[in-house]
Structures are given as C-alpha cells and as structure tokens.
C-alpha cells in the first residue's frame, strides 16, 4: 500500500525538538524528508554533537534522509535551490531573520518554486515584541501559562517530564499547518507561508484554563482545576497505593462515581459527589486511606469490574510493557539495516490503508548526501570536489 503522503518532498531545516517531532509525524505518513544542515555540524560540538555519531535508535531520523550543505557557499546555495525546485515543503527553525540573511527565506524561495509550502517554527513567532528572544520548552510553557498552573496547592511550579511546547504544541501544530497549506494548494495551485510559534500553540492547549479569564471569572494560579485535582476533588485525583505506586481516578460522571463508591465499600458517598466542607473532606480522607489498603494492581482488578475511570500511574519502563499500548502498536519492532530488529515508538496515527513503515534509516549525519546529489545530476567527481571544498558533508 502506498503511504498516505507518498510523493510529497520536504526540505527540513528545523533540527531541534519541535522540528524533529513534525518531521517524524510527516515522515511516517510518507513524506520524503531531507534533513538539510551545515556541512560539518560535528565540528561545532555542544548540542549538535549528539546528532552526529549514531542516531540509529532515534525515531526522529527514521523515514528521513540527511544531507550536509553549506548554505553560506554560492555552490551550496545553488544546490539548495535545485532541491527546492522539486520540493513541496520547506520547514525551518532558525531565529527570525536568519533565513533572509542566508537567502533561503520564503520570499526568495517562492520565486524559485511558487508551489512551496514554507513553514517557520520559532518560539514566539515572526512578529511581536518577543520575536527575537531565544528560549526553550520551559520558556514557552511559562509564557503560555502552562507552567504557572502546573503545581500542587501552595507549591512551586513543576516542570513537566516531557517537552510539551516542542512536541504536543509546536511540532504537531506545524504538521497540521503544513497539511492544511498542502490541501489549500490543491485548490489554488500556489503555496503559502506557515508561521508557527510554540508559545501560541501552548496558549491553544491551555484553552480550558484561559477561557474563564476571558469571561472575567476568578481563576486560581495554584493548579486548582477539575483536571488537576481541584482543592482536591476525591473523584478526580491521584492516590498512593499499598505498594508505593499510584492510581489515577477520573470518575467525573455521577454514574461512574457511584460505581467507584460501591466498589470502595461506601455507597452512601454516591449522593455527595459535589459536597463541600466537612463532607468532602470525609470522602477525601476515606478514599486516601482505602487506596493505601491494597496494591495498585489489586485495586485495578477490583475497580475495573465496573466503569470507574481508573488507570495505573506508569513510569516509562511500564509504558513500554503495557498490553493496551502494545496492542495499539505504540511500541513496534522494525527492521534496521545495521541493528537488525530495533524497537521504536510507533505512530499515533492509525490509517487503515497506509500503515507505518520504516522506508529508510539514518545511521549517521550526511548519510544520503551523495544519493541526493546523484538525483540532481552530479557525478562522483563533482561530488568529491564539493566535499573537498566543504560545500557538502
């Protein structure tokens, strides 16, 4: 079966976290992703060093080709323009203004190929007073209000374990924007510019918390919402169990809450789901004590006899063994040309006629440079000269 986006080519100049997530998502859907970066990033060291020696296990490099290209060199720039003539998408993650200096900005590239969809992925976007500020995930979730409300009552903000602005917000928003622009191109024949700011995308994720502010409602900054165990709510909370593990309860609907109370041995609590004051405190204390009487898995066996909205609170090593996630192929084993079978995180998108397939792997930086140049008509002698001149890597 052909991949869903087979035939679409993307030039990827957004090598950091959100760009990697976007490229992985689109690459799994069939986009021919060519990661274009400077000819010799390993010489710079620092954060780029991890990209060079071995990226075989990293999902962000599957279904992607890598090419080293010096855009500050006239010949390197010409090669990039040649690639852009046959491309559908360009994505870049530089600070605003950098691509203009490199002469690969949208205004320049749409003259090379008017059908190009060109996506810029930055922290704060291409305009506004913060446009030139540097930052990382922690900064964007701060400005977007997520970090300030991710805390226990009267406690400091807690940094999430994963990069929400990079992946859940920025990377995914960029993929959606690119797909929308490609669909629009089917109607108009022309590409367009996609401006994605991770801070913007975080604000969109914060809709349930921010909307009440827009309606002049009082909103707590202590993380006290229904979704975070409001003050706390016994029926929407996290509880420690006898074995030191935790279980999450989300019995929002009254019928789920009634089932929970019955299985916990206190059917009389069912009519007091929204009680305040001493009654709520009584229920909270009982639930806390009850969950400490059995192990997490014992409670799961009991509470899953009826609909109660409960789940185990996993650490990473338990996630990769969970039978539901394995059944959904979120952990997959793919053939790797060097490693043999390699376990990977699967794709969150399930298409009936276009399943995930690892079409190619990158095991080292610049692995596909010669292959791509051959496609453009360069022979081995010319490629060798380009390497000697540090135009490609």
As annotated, the active-site residues are 136, 166
Angle at 200 between CA 195 and CA 204, to 5 degrees: 125
Alpha helical stretches, state H, the chain:
17-28, 74-85, 98-102, 106-112, 137-143, 172-188, 198-205, 207-214, 254-263, 277-291, 296-303, 316-319, 323-327, 369-375, 380-388
Q: For residue 334, how many C-alpha atoms fall within 13 Å in the half-sphere facing its CB?
A: 24
- The angle, 0 to 180 degrees and rounded to 10, between the axes of the packed helices 172-188 and 198-205 is 100
On whether the CB atoms of residues 91 and 19 are closer than 8 A, the answer is yes
Rounded CA separation 210/212 (Å): 6
Question: What's the DSSP call for residue 94?
Answer: P
Other beta carbons less than 10 A from residue 211's beta carbon: 11
> For 65, left (φ over 0), alpha (ψ -120 to 50), or beta?
beta
For the chain, give me the number of helices (H) and strands (E)? Answer: 15, 11
Rounded CA separation 346/343 (Å): 9
Of 369, 385, 372, 370, the C-alpha closest to 38 is 369
Diameter of the chain measured on Cα atoms? 84
Q: Residues with Cβ < 8 Å from 155, sequence gap 6 or more? A: 222
């Amino acid at each position: 079966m052909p991949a869903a986006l087979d035939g679409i080519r993307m030039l990827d100049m957004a090598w950091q976290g959100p760009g990697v997530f976007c490229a992985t998502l689109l690459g799994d859907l069939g986009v021919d992703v060519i990661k274009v970066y400077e000819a010799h990033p390993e010489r710079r060291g620092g954060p780029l060093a991890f990209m060079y020696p071995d990226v075989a296990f990293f999902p962000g490099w599957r279904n992607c080709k890598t090419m080293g290209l010096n855009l500050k060199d006239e010949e390197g720039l010409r090669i990039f323009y040649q690639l852009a003539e046959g491309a559908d998408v360009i994505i870049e993650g530089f600070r605003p203004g950098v691509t203009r200096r490199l002469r690969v900005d949208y205004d320049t590239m749409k003259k090379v190929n008017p059908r190009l969809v060109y996506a810029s992925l930055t922290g704060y976007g291409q305009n506004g007073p913060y446009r030139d500020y540097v930052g990382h995930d922690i900064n964007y979730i701060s400005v977007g209000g997520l970090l300030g409300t991710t805390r226990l009552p009267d406690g400091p903000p807690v940094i999430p374990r994963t990069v929400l602005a990079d992946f859940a917000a920025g990377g995914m928003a960029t993929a959606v924007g690119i797909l929308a622009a490609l669909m629009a191109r089917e109607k108009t024949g022309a590409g367009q510019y996609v401006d994605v700011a991770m801070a913007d995308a975080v604000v969109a994720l914060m809709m349930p918390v921010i909307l009440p502010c827009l309606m002049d409602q009082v909103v707590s900054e202590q993380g006290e919402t229904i979704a975070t165990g409001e003050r706390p709510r016994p029926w929407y909370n996290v509880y420690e169990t006898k074995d030191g593990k935790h279980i999450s309860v989300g019995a929002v609907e009254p019928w789920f809450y009634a089932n929970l109370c019955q299985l916990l041995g206190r059917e009389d609590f069912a009519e007091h789901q929204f009680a305040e004051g001493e009654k709520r405190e009584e229920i909270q204390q009982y639930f806390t004590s009850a969950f400490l009487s059995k192990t997490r898995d014992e409670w799961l066996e009991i509470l899953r006899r009826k609909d109660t909205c409960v789940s185990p609170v996993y650490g990473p090593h338990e996630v990769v063994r969970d039978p539901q996630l394995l059944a959904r192929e979120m952990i997959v084993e793919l053939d790797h040309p060097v490693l043999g079978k390699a376990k990977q995180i699967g794709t969150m998108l399930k298409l009936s006629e276009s399943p995930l397939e690892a079409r190619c792997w990158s095991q080292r930086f610049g692995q596909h440079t010669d292959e791509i140049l051959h496609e453009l008509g360069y022979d081995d002698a010319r490629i060798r000269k380009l390497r000697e001149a540090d135009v490609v890597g």
